[in-house]
């Protein structure tokens, strides 16, 4: 049987009396989590949800959110996690595209989403709130029987996870049980997860990082999950003494570093800190090591592939690198014609392996464009492989700047900017130019100590400093000083927003 839930159930049943999930309102032993997931599955089945049918979920993070996901896996149905920030018009698109049988929302959103659900022929709208109330928990409470895990094949879909859709329509990545199982089992092995671990989980549950990478590693290994509703630096610092593993995005680590409580004695018991979903600055990597003695383990993945590469648990973790490809994952760096490039040269990263999704839901043209016939998925990321096989990212292909016919890689310029004393962080992007086609622009956030300097003086200072280190065609022609960079829910800088905001200036 290739149902991911069967593997999770085996882990839960192996330690029936041990607490494996502790949320802010509820906690569960292995036996309780398995039993309650079965009741949730029975409730969903009573509403007609069957294998291969879809359920859309837009709820706040909670232990019951985890149960809902596990129940969907158990039924062999397809789970559609939706970002809690999506507005009704955005939810309308997802319901129209995926045609789910059930929509689960918070009580606060139920009124406005009822019309959207009805317009898209959603059979049932249920509510689930973070305090374990709502029409769904009420239905679950009436269930007296459990539902066994439905047999699935490797290629059967488990999740449709929509990309962020910064340009064009969001694409629904079709992720199978086989994709999830292969990636989770490999990560448990590579990162040394065991039942003795305690994972501090402060990531969202509507994204692959929190839902798949973090949760699956813990559930398959029997580790305990400390479920935080959101990332809150003081609360995370208070919980760190109970944990052995923290998974986060770079923003987690910069905010922890901003608190003087983060010192080596506080984290001496921690086994590993893992970072992903957005590039980790070398400065953050080095400062975290100096402060705590821990070298953050950076890895690389995306919605369509799960995890692709990882720095080693044991061995050299290189600042600025996302590590080596997972053992069962092939990574190639290709030129514009699709030919493999030698190590050290920059090209588009292509990935092949059991982790790669089945394609995009109801988008055959997009699937054909990004998922090649030879099994490689074209990530759209630019990178290179160094002589030792470590992968380095230099940006997105769509963010590549071509100025006067010359390629400019934003990350190279960002590394120089971020190393300047006044700069907290930066984002380099293209602006249209009548002569060169595109020109280089930079948005920067200043350190607090530098904000007293007049913006015009600071802009001139930054451009002059970069001119000393980079070729003339790479120098930003415009520098915009911002209070913060625009980011999506997972901390990725949204350069499309910057291009749109400053494109006419």
The answer on 133 and 68 residing in a single domain is yes
pLDDT tops 60 at residue 165:
no
Distance CA(442)–CA(53), nearest Å, equals 46
193 in any annotated domain: no
Does residue 454 sit in the same domain as residue 320? no
- Regarding whether 280 and 342 lie in a shared domain, the answer is yes
- The mean-pLDDT minimum among 39-48, 157-166, 237-246, 311-320 falls in 157-166
- Give the per-residue pLDDT at 491: 74
Residue 263 has pLDDT above 70, yes or no: yes
Region label for 282, one of left (φ > 0), alpha (ψ between -120 and 50) or beta (otherwise): alpha
- In this structure, the answer to whether residues 146 and 55 fall within a common structural domain is yes
Do 413 and 279 lie in a common domain?
no
According to DSSP, the β-strands at 198-201 and 224-227 are parallel
For strands 377-385 and 347-352, give the pairing. Answer: antiparallel
**Looking at the domain assignment, is residue 132 inside a domain?**
yes
Select from 177, 207, 232 the last residue of a domain: 177
pLDDT for the residue numbered 166: 43
Indicate whether 205 and 168 sit together in one domain: no
- The reply to whether 408 falls in a domain is yes
Determine, yes or no, domain membership for 313. yes
- Band (pLDDT 50/70/90 cuts) for residue 385 is very high
User: CA–CA separation, 266 vs 245, rounded Å?
Assistant: 13
pLDDT of 167 above 60: no
Q: What angle do CA 127, 61, 201 make, to 5 degrees?
A: 160
**Would you state the pLDDT for residue 155?**
95
User: Which domain range does residue 354 map to?
Assistant: 198-370+388-396
Q: How many domains does the chain have?
A: 3
pLDDT band for position 249 (50/70/90)?
confident
Q: What are the backbone angles phi and psi of residue 308, rounded to the nearest 5°?
A: -110, -45
Whether the pLDDT of residue 54 is over 70: the answer is yes
d(CA 444, CA 481): 5
Beta-carbon count within 10 A of 81 CB: 26
* Helix, strand and coil in the chain, % to nearest 5: 35, 25, 40
Question: Same structural domain for residues 146 and 252?
Answer: no
- pLDDT over 70, % of the chain: 97
Residue 480: which of 504, 450, 449, 445 has the closest Cα? 445
CA distance 301 to 307: 4
Residue 233 shares a structural domain with residue 90: no
CATH at residue 401: 3.30.300.30
pLDDT at residue 172 greater than cutoff 50? yes
User: Does 229 fall in a domain?
Assistant: yes
* 248 and 293 within one domain: yes
Closest CA to 57 of 163, 135, 128, 130: 128
- What is the Cα–Cα distance from 106 to 239, expressed in whole angstroms? 27
For residue 248, tell me if it sits in a domain.
yes
Q: Are 243 and 199 in contact (CB under 8 A)?
A: yes
Query: How does residue 339 score in pLDDT terms, banded at 50, 70 and 90?
Result: very high
What does pLDDT average to over the chain? 92
| pLDDT at 40 exceeding the cut of 60 | yes
Residues in the chain: 505
Same domain, 40 and 131: yes
Place of tokens 């290709």: 334
In a domain, 151, yes or no: yes
Q: Tell me the pLDDT band of 278, cut-offs 50, 70 and 90.
A: confident
CA neighbours within 13 Å on the CB side: how many for 468?
7
Judging by DSSP bridges, how do beta strands 102-105 and 157-162 pair with one another?
A: unpaired
Tokens for 25, please give them.
Answer: 């309102």
The confidence score (pLDDT) of residue 1 equals: 62
Looking at the structure, tell me whether residues 147 and 37 fall in a common domain: yes
Alpha-carbon distance 183 to 233, whole Å? 29
User: Is residue 382 a part of any domain in this protein?
Assistant: no
> Which tokens in the block code for residue 129?
């709130």
SS3 of 319, please? coil
The reply to whether 127 and 226 lie within a common domain is no
Q: What CATH number is associated with residue 338?
A: 3.40.50.12780
Q: What is the spatial distance between Cα 35 and Cα 13, in angstroms, rounded to a whole number? A: 10
What is the rounded distance in angstroms from the CA atom of residue 222 to the CA atom of residue 18? Answer: 9
Confidence of residue 138 (pLDDT cuts 50, 70, 90): very high
Residue 445 has pLDDT above 60, yes or no: yes
């Amino acid at each position: 049987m290739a149902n991911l839930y069967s593997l999770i159930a085996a882990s839960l049943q192996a330690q029936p009396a041990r607490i494996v999930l502790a949320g802010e309102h509820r906690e569960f032993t292995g036996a309780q989590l398995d039993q309650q997931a079965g009741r949730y599955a029975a409730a969903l089945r009573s509403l007609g949800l069957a294998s291969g049918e879809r359920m859309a979920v837009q709820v706040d993070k909670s232990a019951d959110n985890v149960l809902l996901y596990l129940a969907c896996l158990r039924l062999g149905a397809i789970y559609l996690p939706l970002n809690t920030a999506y507005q009704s018009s955005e939810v309308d698109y997802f319901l129209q595209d995926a045609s789910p049988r059930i929509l689960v929302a918070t009580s606060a959103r139920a009124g406005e989403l009822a019309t959207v659900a009805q317009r898209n022929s959603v059979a049932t709208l249920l509510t689930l709130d973070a305090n374990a109330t709502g029409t769904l928990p009420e239905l679950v409470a009436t269930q007296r029987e459990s539902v066994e895990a439905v047999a699935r094949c490797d290629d059967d879909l488990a999740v449709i996870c929509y990309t962020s859709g910064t340009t064009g329509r969001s694409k629904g990545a079709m992720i199978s049980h086989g994709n999830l199982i292969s990636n989770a089992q490999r990560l448990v092995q590579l990162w040394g997860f065991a039942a003795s671990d305690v994972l501090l989980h402060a990531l969202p549950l509507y994204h692959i990082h929190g839902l798949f990478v973090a949760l699956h590693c813990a559930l398959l290994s029997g580790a305990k999950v400390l479920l935080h509703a959101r990332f809150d630096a003081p609360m995370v610092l208070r919980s760190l003494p109970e944990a052995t593993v923290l998974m986060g995005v770079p923003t987690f680590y910069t905010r922890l570093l901003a608190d003087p409580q983060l010192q080596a004695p506080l984290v001496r018991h921690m086994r590993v800190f893992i970072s992903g979903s957005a590039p980790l600055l070398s400065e953050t990597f080095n400062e975290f090591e100096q402060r705590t003695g821990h070298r953050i383990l950076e890895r690389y993945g995306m919605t369509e592939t799960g995890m692709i590469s990882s720095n080693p648990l044991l061995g050299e973790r290189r600042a600025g690198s996302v590590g080596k490809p997972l053992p069962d994952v092939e990574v190639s760096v290709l030129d514009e014609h699709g030919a493999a490039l030698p190590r050290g040269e920059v090209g588009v990263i292509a990935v092949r392996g059991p982790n790669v999704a089945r394609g995009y839901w109801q988008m055959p043209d997009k699937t054909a464009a990004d998922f090649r016939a030879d099994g490689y998925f074209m990530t759209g990321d630019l990178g290179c492989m160094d002589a030792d096989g470590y992968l380095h990212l230099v940006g997105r292909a769509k963010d590549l700047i071509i100025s006067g016919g010359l390629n400019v890689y934003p990350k190279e310029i960002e590394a120089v900017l971020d190393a300047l004393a006044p700069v907290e962080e930066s984002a380099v992007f293209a602006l249209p130019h009548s002569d060169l086609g595109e020109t280089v622009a930079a948005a920067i956030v200043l350190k607090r100590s530098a904000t007293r300097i007049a913006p015009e003086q600071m802009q001139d200072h930054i451009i002059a400093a970069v001119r000393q280190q980079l070729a003339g065609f790479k120098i930003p022609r415009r520098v915009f000083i911002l209070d913060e960079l625009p980011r999506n829910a997972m901390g990725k800088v949204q350069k499309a927003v910057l291009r749109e905001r400053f494109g006419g200036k």
